[in-house]
Amino acid sequence: MAVSMMMSRGLSLGKALKYAGSSSGNYYYKPGMKASKLDDPSVLEHVRELALQRPLYGSRRIAAMLSRRPGRRINRKQVQHVFRLVGWTGPQTTRKELIRSTRKRPPRPTDINQQWQTDITCVWCEVDGWCYLFSILDCYTREWLAYTFSTQCGTDEAIRTLEMAVLERFPDGAVPEGLVTRSDGGSQYTSDRFISTLKVYGIKQEITGKNRPDQNAYIGAFHRSLKEDCIWQHDFQTFHEADAVIGQFFYEYNWDRPHSSLKYMTPKEFYAACGGTG
């Protein structure tokens, strides 16, 4: 009643609701209205379950993941409603972080097999100490093409990962002209043997500038997601325990995990949509 009276005197609905201490939901509610889908207990349970498994996922990704399940269609609004009910907030990006990431973002490739990025990240295992994960990513499809997980961190592991990526993408060994692999200036990637292997396959090499991780941003962002969604969710005791978990995540990342930058397709789905067959 108070809201309607204030609106009749020229106030907008938003200001009238604010002054009355009310909400648009209360204003539009009519007795006898059916319960909203937002209050569906099955939605609450599905969202809670996945959010606990993936605590760093935002509402968009949670909704996209759940909507991939047969017979289930959940939108972002429903996920946000559940987050509010249970007192959760999804991961937030500050304005400062957004500006920084925009400034550093390299030009996006325009097709598959244009640019790969490779790098190394460390994984701690209580018994075996530091172990090393070498990865190669296709920057256009975001596919995790290949990896080597090892207790060693040398040129052999870098070469093995490269050869596995070539075999995964080009089973016949015919690498298209123009493919570039970018890495930092680590000794594994600047060694004569690694450079020679690139030349054998006809792959060009780019080395990022010193202290310029932004120039290798795709693989850097991937390794951050890998740690948040997989590595840091476990307390690995041995190398073999970590190896098994990483192997499972390799499949989940490529075939099950939708990406906002890929219109919420998985990397493998996006690759197929681009006409990829390798």
Distance in angstroms (rounded) separating the CA atoms of residues 75 and 59: 9
Answer yes or no: do 142 and 257 share one domain.
yes
63 lies in a domain? yes
CB-based contact 59:90 (threshold 8 Å): yes
Q: Is residue 3 part of a domain?
A: no
Q: For residue 158, which of 192, 187, 189 has the smallest C-alpha distance?
A: 189
Question: Quick check: is 234 in a domain?
Answer: yes
- Residues 133, 242: Cα–Cα separation, whole Å: 10
Same domain, 122 and 240: yes
Q: Rounded distance, CA 116 to CA 104, Å?
A: 18
Which domain, by its residues, includes 66?
Answer: 38-88
Indicate whether 68 belongs to any domain: yes
Helix ranges (DSSP H) in 109-238 = 155-169, 187-190, 192-201, 217-229
Instruction: Mark whether 220 and 164 lie in a shared domain.
Output: yes
Give 38's DSSP letter. Answer: G
One domain for residues 199 and 82: no
Ranking 21-35, 58-72, 121-135, 166-180 by mean pLDDT, the lowest is 21-35
pLDDT at 131 exceeding the cut of 90: yes
End-to-end CA distance of the chain: 65
107 in a structural domain: no
Examine the domain organization and report whether 191 and 63 are in the same domain: no
Residue 27 counted as domain residue: no
Give dist(CA 203, CA 191) in Å, integer. 15
Q: What is the CATH number of the domain that holds 192?
A: 3.30.420.10
Is 79 in the same domain as 120?
no
pLDDT attached to residue 112: 92
Same domain, 160 and 260: yes
- Tokens 């070469």 correspond to 159
Q: Are residues 190 and 56 in the same domain?
A: no
Comparison of pLDDT for 79 and 11, the residue scoring more? 79
Asked whether residue 75 is assigned to any structural domain, the reply reads: yes
User: Taking the CA atoms of the chain, what radius of gyration do you get in angstroms?
Assistant: 24
Q: What is the pLDDT of residues 133-189, one digit of tens each?
A: 999 999 999 999 999 999 999 999 999 999 999 999 999 888 999 999 999 889 999
Q: Are residues 176 and 213 in the same domain?
A: yes
Q: Which of 44-58, 112-126, 209-223 has the highest mean pLDDT?
A: 112-126
Check the CA dihedral 15-21-25-30 and report its sign.
negative
Residue 105 confidence class, pLDDT cut points 50, 70, 90? low
Q: What is the mean predicted confidence (pLDDT) over 53-62?
A: 66
- Residue 23 resides in a domain: no
Is residue 60 domain-shared with residue 143, that is, in the same domain? no
71 and 119: one domain?
Answer: no
**Shared domain check, 180 and 65:** no
How much is the pTM?
0.64
* 72, 88, 104 - which closes a domain: 88
How many domains, the chain?
Answer: 2
- pLDDT at residue 42 in the model: 65
Lowest model confidence (mean pLDDT) among 76-80, 197-201, 254-258: 76-80
**Domain end position, chosen among 88, 103, 126:** 88
Mean pLDDT score of the chain: 80
